[in-house]
């Protein structure tokens, strides 16, 4: 009996330090020896989409809640932790990386709500410029170098052309949110991707936009920003694009990083329509993707960014253009009715290049299409 008690005491002494490591500064701890982590929201497992970054404190992971609560599990390469997440609630824990650094991680549960914009203004207050594709040497080089006509050959309509093109760009490199090209233009990006370089969401937007313009479909890059754009230190924005489909006479959102086009009732959606559909018609919402991107994973990831929307006033293609501005501002930002006009990006970068509007007519005016461009798109 005495021997058994002694053995039990020794075991408790050995186990106690390990138990103590499960709490740090009053919060639970999970261990990791790799910087990449997975997580599961409900039944959807998201692999390799989270980087453990002790230098960001707290590092915020927003969790979508479609019902009263959502089961959430965070997986490192050696450990895991689970929460029942509710909308409007926060949950904190530490990731102990390599038994040294502690990464404070915060889960923020959020629900889904359609944002409101001004739909009564009948005419646009601004003029936005788009590529007319008339003897544009830059686009001709892009079109011939990468044989873009072959990518869309035989497509039944403009929607199919757009889907094929965004899929082609999606496959040109693997996403890397920390890399930038030597020059922010499609030809440079594609040339450096051939050398094995990887780029951000920004570059997917630039290349897809240029490729669509090259085949005669007017397109523009679009910046998305979270409602908390001024207070979040990292990851407050995303870049994708919109293309104007002449046969549908409407703007349509595409995301080259994820290879997606949102569709509701068989009608492709622009970025604002997509936000409204997530909030009001999620069950009927479709994510079209040649590469098979998951609807739940993409919607859950992108939804927080669908709050502020911005595009350039001058969307022409080329590397040596003198860009047109409006009152010295290069971009137009759509702001929800009653929302704060953001002045700072990620706590420290002044947002000085924007004119602001809450009118959908300003953002979604149809581009002026020359006859040559209209013919080329069909």
Query: Are 135 and 106 members of one domain?
Result: no
Indicate the residue among 82, 110, 138 that finishes a domain: 110
| Strand order from edge to edge, sheet including 261-264 | 267-268, 261-264, 285-288
Give me the DSSP letters along 96-163.
EETTTEEEEEEEEEE-------B----S-SS--EE---SS-HHHHHHHHHTTHHHHHTT-SSHHHHHH
CA dihedral 179, 171, 271, 307 (to 10 degrees): -30
- The two tokens of residue 101 are 């650094």
User: What b/e readout covers 339-359, taking b as 16+ CB neighbours within 10 angstroms?
Assistant: eeebeebbeeeebeebbbbbb
Tell me whether the omega of the peptide bond preceding residue 58 falls within 30 degrees of 0, making it cis. yes
Specify if 3 maps to a domain: no
- What crossing angle do the helices spanning 158-170 and 201-214 adopt, rounded to 10°? 140
Does an H or E element contain 356, and which? Answer: strand 354-357
Query: Are 362 and 254 members of one domain?
Result: yes
Query: Are 90 and 150 members of one domain?
Result: no
Specify if 120 maps to a domain: no
Specify if 122 maps to a domain: no
So what's the pLDDT on residue 305? Answer: 97
Query: Are 65 and 195 members of one domain?
Result: no
**How many C-beta atoms surround the C-beta of residue 109 within 10 A?**
20
369: which strand partners?
Answer: none
Q: Which domain holds residue 42?
A: 20-110
Could you tell me whether strands 250-254 and 237-245 are parallel, antiparallel, or unpaired per DSSP bridges? antiparallel
Query: Are 236 and 367 members of one domain?
Result: yes
So what's the pLDDT on residue 370? Answer: 57
Query: Are 94 and 162 members of one domain?
Result: no
Residues across the chain: 378
Query: Are 85 and 143 members of one domain?
Result: no
- The two tokens of residue 177 are 């949110």
So what's the pLDDT on residue 325? Answer: 96
Specify if 234 maps to a domain: yes
Query: Are 35 and 133 members of one domain?
Result: no
User: What b/e readout covers 2-33, taking b as 16+ CB neighbours within 10 angstroms?
Assistant: eeeeeeeeeeeeeeeeeeeeeeeeeeebbbbe
Indicate the residue among 54, 81, 110 that finishes a domain: 110
Residue 192: which of 200, 339, 73 has the closest Cα?
200
So what's the pLDDT on residue 133? Answer: 78
- When computed from its CA atoms, the radius of gyration of the chain, rounded to whole angstroms, is 24
Specify if 290 maps to a domain: yes
Specify if 118 maps to a domain: no
What is the dihedral sign for C-alpha 278, 284, 289, 295?
A: positive
pLDDT in tens, the chain (378 residues): 444 444 544 444 344 444 445 899 999 999 999 999 999 998 889 889 899 999 999 999 989 887 789 999 999 999 999 999 999 999 999 999 999 999 999 999 988 999 999 999 989 999 999 998 778 999 999 999 999 999 999 999 999 999 999 999 999 999 999 999 999 999 999 999 999 999 999 999 999 999 999 999 999 999 999 999 999 999 999 999 999 999 999 999 999 999 999 999 999 999 999 999 999 999 899 999 999 999 988 998 999 999 999 999 999 999 888 999 999 999 999 999 999 999 999 999 999 999 999 999 999 999 986 544 443 333
Q: How far apart are CA 70 and CA 90, in angstroms?
A: 13
* Count of structural domains, the chain: 2
Q: How far apart are CA 209 and CA 116, in angstroms?
A: 27
- The two tokens of residue 266 are 């068989």
Could you tell me whether strands 267-268 and 237-245 are parallel, antiparallel, or unpaired per DSSP bridges? unpaired
Query: Are 95 and 136 members of one domain?
Result: no
So what's the pLDDT on residue 363? Answer: 97
So what's the pLDDT on residue 49? Answer: 83
Query: Are 160 and 84 members of one domain?
Result: no
So what's the pLDDT on residue 283? Answer: 87
Specify if 121 maps to a domain: no
Query: Are 24 and 145 members of one domain?
Result: no
Query: In the block, which residue shows the tokens 């050995």?
Result: 14
Query: Are 143 and 232 members of one domain?
Result: yes
Spatial contact of 171 and 257, defined as CB atoms under 8 Å apart: no
Query: CB-hemisphere CA count at 13 Å for 219?
Result: 33
Phi and psi at residue 191, in whole multiples of 5°?
-65, -40
Spatial contact of 275 and 309, defined as CB atoms under 8 Å apart: no
pTM of the model: 0.79
**How many C-beta atoms surround the C-beta of residue 100 within 10 A?**
7
Specify if 216 maps to a domain: yes
């Amino acid at each position: 009996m005495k021997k058994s008690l002694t053995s039990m005491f020794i075991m408790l002494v050995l186990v106690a330090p390990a138990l103590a490591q499960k709490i740090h500064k009053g919060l639970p701890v999970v261990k990791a020896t790799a910087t990449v982590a997975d997580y599961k929201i409900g039944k959807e497992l998201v692999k390799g989409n989270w980087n453990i970054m002790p230098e960001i404190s707290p590092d915020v992971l927003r969790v979508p809640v479609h019902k009263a609560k959502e089961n959430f599990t965070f997986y490192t390469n050696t450990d895991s932790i689970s929460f029942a997440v509710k909308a409007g609630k926060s949950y904190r824990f530490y990731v102990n990386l390599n038994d040294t650094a502690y990464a404070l991680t915060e889960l923020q549960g959020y629900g889904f709500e359609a944002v409101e914009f001004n739909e009564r203004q009948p005419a646009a207050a601004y003029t936005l410029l788009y590529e007319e594709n008339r003897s544009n040497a830059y686009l001709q080089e892009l079109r011939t170098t990468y044989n873009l006509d072959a990518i869309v050959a035989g497509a039944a309509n403009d929607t199919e052309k757009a889907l094929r093109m965004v899929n082609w760009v999606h496959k040109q490199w693997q996403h890397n949110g920390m890399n930038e090209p030597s020059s922010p233009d499609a030809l440079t990006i594609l040339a450096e991707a051939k050398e094995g370089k990887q780029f951000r969401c920004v570059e997917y937007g630039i290349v897809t936009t240029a490729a669509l313009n090259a085949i005669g479909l007017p397109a523009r890059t679009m910046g998305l920003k979270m409602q908390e754009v001024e207070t979040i230190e990292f990851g407050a924005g995303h870049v994708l694009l919109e293309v104007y489909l002449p046969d549908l006479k409407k703007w349509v959102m595409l995301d080259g990083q994820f290879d997606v086009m949102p569709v509701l009732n068989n009608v492709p959606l622009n970025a604002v329509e997509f936000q409204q559909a997530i909030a009001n018609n999620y069950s009927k919402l479709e994510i079209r993707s040649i590469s098979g991107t998951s609807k739940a994973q993409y919607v859950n990831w992108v939804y927080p960014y669908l709050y502020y929307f911005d595009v350039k006033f001058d969307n022409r293609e080329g590397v040596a253009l003198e860009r047109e501005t409006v009152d010295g501002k290069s971009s137009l930002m759509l702001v929800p009715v009653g929302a704060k006009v953001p002045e700072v990006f990620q706590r420290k970068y002044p947002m000085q290049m924007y004119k602001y509007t809450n009118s959908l007519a300003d953002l979604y005016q149809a581009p002026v299409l020359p006859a040559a461009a209209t013919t080329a798109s069909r």
